[in-house]
């Protein structure tokens, strides 16, 4: 959720001169954002686990099909979130090793606007588009 403060910080991050790309302030901003997203995902997973445990203990045989359908949907959502958590962990590690914000394929800057939209991005737009074209051309 964006607040007036976070919008102000985003504006400040965007205004850093290009020669100072991925300066300490930018790295700290993205570290905080990634850690916050990780915390929200983990809290959500914990809440879902608690809800599922309550449903199992309260459900009877008549509710079994409905319960299994709910679980199936929750497991799909949690699987997507698990993959996102892995990307968040990778991004946090790249902040630590000094490679955050740089395309893993080309070595070019990913760009602040792209990172604001997708803080886990590891590819610049051009490299991402190449990957997507390749996937489309070899999709069965």
The pTM of the whole model exceeds 0.85: no
What are 45-80's pLDDT values in tens digits?
888 777 777 766 666 666 666 777 777 787 888 889
Half-sphere exposure of 89 (CA within 13 A, CB side): 8
- The domain locations on the chain are 4-137
Q: What is the CATH number of domain 4-137?
A: 1.20.120.910
Do 102 and 89 contact (CB within 8 A), yes or no? no
The terminus-to-terminus CA distance of the chain in angstroms comes to 38
Write down the pLDDT at residue 140. Answer: 54
Other residues' Cβ atoms within 10 Å of the Cβ of residue 56: 10
Band of the pLDDT at 1, cuts 50, 70, 90?
A: low
């Amino acid at each position: 959720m964006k607040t007036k403060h976070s919008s102000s910080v985003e504006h400040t991050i965007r205004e850093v001169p290009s020669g100072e790309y991925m300066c300490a302030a930018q790295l700290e901003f993205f570290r905080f954002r990634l850690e916050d997203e990780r915390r929200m995902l983990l809290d959500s997973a914990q809440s879902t686990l608690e809800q599922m445990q309550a449903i199992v203990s309260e459900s009877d045989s008549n509710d079994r099909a409905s319960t299994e359908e709910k679980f199936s949907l929750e497991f799909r959502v949690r699987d997507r979130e698990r993959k996102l958590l892995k990307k968040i962990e990778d991004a946090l590690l790249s902040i630590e090793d000094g490679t955050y914000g740089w395309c893993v394929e080309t070595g070019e800057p990913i760009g602040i606007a792209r990172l604001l939209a997708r803080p886990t991005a590891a590819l610049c737009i051009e490299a991402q588009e190449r990957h997507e074209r390749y996937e489309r051309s070899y999709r069965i």
